[in-house]
Amino acid sequence: MRMPGFTLTRRFRSLRWRLTFLYLGLLSMLLLVLGVGQYFAAREVLYRSSADVTINEYQAVLTAFRREVASRAASPRAELQQLAQELKSRRISAAIFDLNGVPLVLAPATLGAREDIPYLPLADYLNAIHQKPQPYYLAQAGNPPSTHLVVLNPVRIGARAIGLAQLSIPTDEIDQTLRVDRQLAIGLSLVVLLLALLLSPLIVGRALRPLDQMSRTARAIAAGDYSQRVSVADTADEIGELGTAFNKMAAGVDAAFEVRRASEDRMRQFVADASHELRTPLTSIAGYIDVLGRRQEVDPVTLQSSLASMQVESARMTRLVNDLLTLTRFESGKAPSRRPLPLDAWLNETLDELHLREQGASETRTIEPGIVVEADPEALKQVVSNLAQNALKYAPGSELRWSLFREDGRAAIRLVDTGPGIPRSDLPHVFERFYRGEKARDRSAGGSGLGLAIARSIVEAHQGTIDAESEPGKGATFTAWLPLPRA
């Protein structure tokens, strides 16, 4: 039994879930980085703009104040005190520091609440007086302590710095705005992540669906159904390419098995035909033995004729077995031992050896000299001999016209006879193994149907072709075409 936990872990290890988690992880990181960045940017903008507002208000007060005191000649300290009083009215806590950073005047926004006024480190004051103040500072003040935004502004009369004005406001309003902003960002991020969690398995699953189909198809092919293919979406992505490649592979496997099936069928047919051919003479011999064995006494005439018949049958069997051996030798694809062969001399010699005239055939030869091919002379001799034997058998008494010529870059050996020709129904089959034409089926004519098949296998082993043409009643033409060696 399978444990449910095991199935669940397996499920989440699937590519679909692994991609989903990877994607969600990346998305969360991205959202976190964006959220934090956006938070700090917003905080900076809000603080700076509050600092600007505070400074502007201060400038307004200062301008009004200057106009007022311009005519009066008072001590700087008294002037500063008066300025502080002016600011106090604007909800801004103010303080004035002298050039050494010592507080001179404190003007809290809330009357009497001196704790409202934040203090920065002395270095900040001195830096602000003698160099340039930062846009804003943050400091703690009040009871309970809270964060205040502090702006420093040197007070000058003409080019002369006479002190430092510190303006501060509590940041709680800004912080409130930022808190809302932060909560909104977190909420939205969670919604985005949830949506991604819900949608991405669907999207990823959809993209990976062809892979599921491919593994199903591969299983079906492994189980023997070679016709299975995957349906490939016409997208140019990796999965589409994989699908196309997969289908090509499946087609290749299918074709290879088809070739194997066909060759096995041919082999089965060949064995069946060969057995059939051998059975006839064997049955015949067994019959003679049986008849002779039953008799008490056999007269010499019967014995002689039986033995003669058995000899004929055994000679037929020997011929057949030899033919089968020749055929399998050339059909196994073993290359014949080829050498450059001057065809004119070779053909003359071969035809002389066949003694066709002595077998009652008239013969002519038209031989083009100088044709040389790469061939096995013994094997080619068998081709010529088989063609000649057929002509003697099927076109007795006809004229045999041999020719040797060159055409379309090939050498041709042709035999034309003037016999009865080949019936149209036989013509496409004469090169098949064990095929005998209508007239040849009567065994007295002798053929086993292998002569032309052997001729074809020899010519094809030389990368050549052989063909037969015939007008019924007007004789037959057989041509063996052999490739000429490249110059």
Site residues (vs ligand ADP, CB under 6 A): 390-391, 394-395, 417, 419, 422, 426, 430, 435-437, 439-440, 447-453, 476
Closer CB to ligand ADP, 287 or 472, in the complex: 472
Closer CB to ligand ADP, 411 or 450, in the complex: 450
- Dist CA 296 CA 285 (whole Å): 19
C-alpha separations of 101 from 57, 96, 409 in Å: 23, 9, 112
Closest listed residue to residue 193, CA positions, set 368, 24, 370: 24
Residue 478 CB, shortest distance to ligand ADP, in Å, is 7
Strands 362-367 and 399-407: parallel
Joined together, the tokens standing for residue 475 give 């004789």
- Residue 93's DSSP bridge partners are 168
What are the start-end ranges of the H helices in 172-225?
A: 172-222
> Which residue lies nearest ligand ADP, judged by its C-beta?
437
Residue 285 CB, shortest distance to ligand ADP, in Å, is 21
Residue 11 burial (C-beta neighbours within 10 Å; 0-12, 13-18, 19+):
exposed
Closer CB to ligand ADP, 82 or 385, in the complex: 385
Q: Which residue has the tokens 């703690």?
A: 140
- Dist CA 177 CA 197 (whole Å): 30
Would you give the DSSP letter of residue 103?
Answer: E
- Dist CA 426 CA 441 (whole Å): 12
Residue 406 CB, shortest distance to ligand ADP, in Å, is 24
Closer CB to ligand ADP, 330 or 394, in the complex: 394
Residue 466 CB, shortest distance to ligand ADP, in Å, is 11
Residue 308 CB, shortest distance to ligand ADP, in Å, is 22
- Dist CA 434 CA 432 (whole Å): 6
Residue 324 CB, shortest distance to ligand ADP, in Å, is 12
Closer CB to ligand ADP, 133 or 421, in the complex: 421
Closer CB to ligand ADP, 49 or 269, in the complex: 269
Residue 368 CB, shortest distance to ligand ADP, in Å, is 23
Number of C-alpha atoms within 13 angstroms, CB side, residue 172? 7
Closer CB to ligand ADP, 117 or 400, in the complex: 400
